[in-house]
Structure 1
Amino acid sequence: MDQNSESRRIAYLTALSQEIHKKLLRAESSPSQLRNLLQELFADVALEVDDRAKDVILSRVSDAISPVEKGRENRLCFYDVLSEHFIQVPEDGQPILDLIVKLWSQSFAVHIFALLFHKWMFEVKVEDSEKLLRYCSAFVRGSANVFWIDVQTNTKQFQSIFYYLLENVALDQSRLTKLNIQAQRDLFLLLSRFMFFYNAVDQLEGFLNHFPAFPTSFLVGGPADIFVTELADQLQKLKVEPVLLHYLSQIKILQGLELRMTTSTRLKSCLYSFTPPGGPMYPTRTVRHAAWDALDSLFPIGQYPRHFISLFFRLLYPWYWPSSCWHFLVSCIKAMFYSLVGLIVSSWEKLRRPRMSEKDL
């Protein structure tokens, strides 16, 4: 990129930083509207960059695209660009950071901090250890909040933050050590809860190998036990059905993990809680079947007694019989239909083969 384009890009991002600073000043001076103004600013920062702004923001050399543009799912939001800018030009981010620190206790302040400074935290050296401690605590809290926003809306708007924390912090010892030991533990617990949601299970082995030491590990077990415990707690909190089904579909990756008996029992109880109809979970039929599949895959021993016991308790609730019989009948009809279609297709293939052989001759 030529010098003029680079200067134009920096000037645009500097102006954008100044606008954010003005909105924070306005929020600070308006206590009655503070929460609404911070919420609006958070929404603005989380917006996807439009095509017109991309021409100014993105670094292009010939046909190459800068790494910042190669977001997962081809999304590029303003926080992605600004987080990079505050590393290159820290003086643009400092006034914003100073105001956010004053508003720590306000809702959405730590959200904005996590979006704008998730890379600055690990790339820019902070001399004051007390400040760094406060930054670490607010950063983990803000990251957890924005990830939960994704879960509640079943979107991946903040996926780039998750993957940066996983690949560039948790799996990179040089950056990880910038956090104090408690913040490291909190970060790994946070990533454990959302790893399934952001489709990062292929990195589970490396993630577990980098787990920091926990003082209560002799009670709770090793990294695998801690990970599964956090995952079980997360499952209990999920209320969005598509997200819960996504977790249950990926949980089979836990096969082969060496777990303590208490951890294994906890996971089994968690999954079993989604299998019966009614309270306290009130799972849908789809969720119940997904939970049964996960249980049978992870704990094959005893699956038939489990199903028998479940059937016995279902018989104690006669009002469930009509729907159960109906779904059983529909499942049988579907199975027979698919078997018939498979039989017809296989017979057709057998009839075609001799004819094709005669043509070859």
Structure 2
Amino acid sequence: MRARAADHLEALSLEIERKLQKALNSNSQRLQLLQQLFADIALKVDDRARDVILSTNDDGIAPVDEREDTRLCFYEILANHFVKVPESGRRILDLIVQLWSQSFAANIFALLFHRWLFEVPLDGKEVSLRYSSALVQGATNVFWIDIQTNTRHFLSLYNYLLEEVALVPDQLSKISVQAGRGLFLLLSRFMLFYDQDHLLASFLEHFPTFPNSFLVGGPADYYVIELTDQLQKLKVEPVLLHYLSRLTILQGLELRMSTSTRLKACLYSFTSPGGPTYPTRAVRHAAWNTLDLLFPVGRYPRHVISLFFRLLYPWYWPSSCWNFIMTCVKTVYYYILNLIVSSWENMRRPNHQRMHRD
């Protein structure tokens, strides 16, 4: 069984090598072939293949029933395999290096060799710098794919980079200082999306020092600045709502005035309809709730000013009136329903007590 599993993994490696070689030899189909390869290694492993492949390759991979996403992808198994059998991945790595400037090459490298980069000895600092930069770029690309599709296909990659690299100084020292800083900024932008904000305190403690920190501030300032920039780039409503709902983690952080103002301005931009963000009603309400929670001082004046500016745009009046009427109707409906239920329970209680006495 062990030999069979090893044969399956080697066959997968040879197939990846074959597709990369084909992409290298074909200029016209190169992008399509790399895109197909990326999609293949990001696929979920079905139950039959999992039983065969994981029989000898399960070190470092959590059981499916213990995983947060209950999803195991081929890239996780292959990344673990290339750490155990480095020579199996070196041929693939050489081909990826030759395709370095092509789209999806960095993505494929990040998925297949994120463990290899930290767990297999490298030849020199120059090689480490090149690979670590590609890792950050590739991870950025694949995390944005999750953002655009509102999925968590690459959660295991994020968890590895956060828990086993960023929070482990010995591992982080294996890549260049510049790449390490870029990695922390990358993890800052996607921490709320992957629901890892419970590690924020430890993450900020391990935050690297930046040359311009005397101008920007401390780790919390860098984190909030990256998070603010990320919010302004989000276009998928469910993802934006998810971010806004998780921003409560920022309560209690000591920020510079410039950072706090930046975050406040970002949230305020989501509270009014129209440009530049054109938020939906759900986003506007979520932004108001988050803004009032994080910045309670000046809450009521903000709402009054917002209402005043809202009156300057008559074309929003019909929708505002309709939403106000519907909110009032729902409030009255639930109030009456609650009143009826309470009255019914009060009527049943004396009868129940009387029957109990008899």
TM range (shorter): over 0.9
Describe how 1:128-139 pairs up with structure 2 within 5 A: 128-139=124-135
Post-superposition shift, 1:308?
0.4
Task: Find 2:211's aligned residue among 209, 215, 220.
Answer: 215
**Alignment partner of 2:69: what SS?**
helix
**How far off is 1:243 after superposition?**
0.5
The answer to whether structure 1 residue 111 and structure 2 residue 107 are counterparts is: yes
Residue 242 of structure 1 is aligned with which of 235, 238, 241? 238
Matched, 1:67 2:62: yes
Asked if the contact 1:46/1:79 (under 8 Å) is kept, the reply is: yes
Residues 61 and 76 of structure 2 are in contact (CA less than 8 Å); yes or no, is this contact kept in structure 1?
A: no
Structure 2 counterpart of 1:252, one-letter code: T
Q: Deviations over 1:52-72 (max 9, x none)?
A: 2112111279xx996364543
Q: String of CA shifts for 1:95-149, please: whole Å, max 9, x gaps.
A: 0001111111100000000000111111111121111110000000000000000
Identify which of 311, 334, 339 aligns with 2:335. Answer: 339
Residue 78 of structure 1 pairs with residue 68 of structure 2: no
Shift, 1:280, TM fit? 1.1
**Does the CA contact (< 8 Å) of 1:58 and 1:65 recur in 2?**
no
Q: What corresponds to 1:151 in structure 2?
A: 147
Cα displacement (A) at 1:203: 1.2
Do structure 1's residue 253 and structure 2's residue 258 form an aligned pair? no
2:26 matched to which residue of 1?
A: 30
Q: Which amino acid counterpart does residue 208 of structure 1 have in structure 2? A: L
| Residue correspondences, number | 355
**2:344 & 2:224 partners in 1: Cα distance?**
49
Q: Among the aligned pairs, what percent are the same residue?
A: 63
Whether the aligned pair in 1 keeps the contact of 2:167 and 2:206 (CA below 8 Å) is yes
Per-residue CA deviations over 1:77-107 (Å, capped at 9, x if unaligned) read 1001000000110010000001111111100
Confirm whether residue 277 of structure 1 aligns to residue 273 of structure 2: yes
Paired with 2:210 and 2:73, the residues of 1 have a C-alpha distance of 35
Residue 87 of structure 1 corresponds to: 83
Stretches of structure 2 that go unaligned for 5 or more consecutive residues are none
The aligned residue for residue 196 of structure 1 is 192
> Which of the residues 179, 184, 191 maps onto 1:183?
179
C-alpha distance in 2, partners of 1:349/1:224?
Answer: 51
The 2-side partners of 1:40 and 1:243 are apart by: 26
Q: Distance in 1 between matches of 2:56 and 2:5?
A: 11
Q: Distance in 2 between matches of 1:127 and 1:38?
A: 27
Residues 270 and 279 in structure 2, CA contact (< 8 A), matched pair in contact too: yes
Give the match's secondary structure for 1:31: coil
Q: Which residue in 2 is equivalent to 1:329?
A: 325
For 1:101, the aligned partner's letter is: V
Who is 2:310 aligned against? 314
TM-aligned CA distance change 1:161 to 1:68, over 3 Å: farther
The residue identity in structure 1 corresponding to 2:161 is L
Q: Residue 166 of structure 1: CA displacement?
A: 0.9
**SS in structure 2 at match of 1:73:** coil
> In structure 2, how many angstroms separate the alpha carbons of the residues matched to 1:354 and 1:60?
67
Corresponding residue for residue 349 of structure 2 = 353
Deviation (angstroms), 1:199: 0.8
Counterpart of 2:186, as a letter, is L
Query: 3-state DSSP class of the match of 1:324?
Result: helix
Partner of 2:262: 266
Contact kept, 8 Å, 1:87 with 1:119, in 2: the verdict is yes
- 1:358 Cα deviation after fit: 3.2
Contact 2:44/2:73 (<8 A) preserved: yes
Residue 51, structure 1, aligned to residue 47, structure 2: yes
**Aligned-partner Cα distance in 1 for 2:338–2:160:** 47
Give the match's secondary structure for 1:301: coil
Q: Partners in 1 of 2:328 and 2:272 — Cα distance?
A: 21
Read off the aligned partner of 1:332 and give its amino acid letter: C
Corresponding residue SS for 1:74: coil
**What runs of 5+ residues in structure 1 fail to find an aligned partner?**
none
Q: 1:248 to 1:34 in 2, by over 3 A?
A: same
Distance (whole Å) between structure 2 residues aligned to residue 349 and residue 332 of structure 1: 26
Match of 1:224 in 2: 220
Aligned pair 1:17/2:6, yes or no? Answer: no
